[in-house]
Amino acid sequence: MLVRAGIGKLTIVDRDYVDWSNLQRQQLYSEEDVLLHLPKAVAAKTRLEKINRDVIIEAIVQDISSSELLPYKNVDLIIDATDNFETRFVLNDFAVKYGIPWIYGACVGSYGITYTILPHETPCLHCLMEMIPFGGGTTCDTVGIIAPTVTQVVSYQMVEALKILVEDWDALRKELVAFDLWKNEQTKINAKWLNTSTCLTCGTNPSYPYLTKKSLSKIAVLCGRNTVQIRPAQPKFVTIIDYEKHLAPHVKNIKTNPYLMHFQVNKHQIVLFRDGRVLIHGTNDIVEAKKIYHQYFG
């Protein structure tokens, strides 16, 4: 929608590659992207450049932390299309600290929610939730997501994005919107009363807790993927061909592209990215994933 509208520059950051499970709800990708194991950011850039050649599109294949966000402190807008609250809280701290509007959006099953955050004018995400939501209840692991839910959340986000980009501030929606398409329900909540002076992000004495390294996990279970991601203790960029040579005597089915290497070991698909991240598919068990990681990557 942004590219078709003629936005000047779009930066897409994503840590994952296109999987079969994405195709039922994400309209940018094709079966060919899955077969090629293309990173999502790269596949999106390729597709979008065919839609509007006048838009500058930057594709970045990496996880997000405070240090990776710093080059983007002068952007006009951040749109949340993430799948976990830890990353959202990093975005929230970053956006508020540098005065960047951002649009929160999330969905699971047939339920969706979205809210527009203007730093120092509206309550931030930290005000709304105070802490990362509990792990129980419905998640995309347990109930999945239907495509219309995604489309509805994105539609709300894009309308707000266009208002911000043309600086029509008075037209911005003031409420948090939540809906359940299956149950034909919609709720609007006036969130301005949720602002608190003691908020660690937008309060009187902000500390931006999620911009500190100690707040960030190095290991994460990816929502709905039966997959564990492991990041190296220190950021590093690896040479895929060197790892391929190292593992070739031990693993027979290694495949590579310019962005990643992947191979199968028993029930586990293992993927190494150039930024040193590794995805261990076939498990949600962090202990098991760490064992596999150390077996092949030291």
CB 137 within 8 A of CB 212: no
Where do the domains of the chain lie, and which CATH numbers do they carry?
Answer: 63-215 (3.40.50.720), 219-297 (3.30.310.10)
| Integer Cα distance of 260 and 15 in angstroms | 11
Question: What does the pLDDT look like over 218-271, one tens digit per residue?
Answer: 788 887 788 999 987 666 788 898 889 888 888 888 999 999 999 999 899 999
Q: Choose among 13, 28, 272: nearest CA to 150.
A: 28
- Is the predicted pLDDT of residue 132 greater than 50, yes or no? no
Q: Mean pLDDT, the chain, as a whole number?
A: 88
| Integer Cα distance of 274 and 82 in angstroms | 21
CA dihedral 47, 52, 58, 63 (to 10 degrees): -50
pLDDT value of residue 57 = 97
0.75 exceeded by pTM: yes
Question: Catalytic positions, please?
Answer: 140
pLDDT value of residue 131 = 45
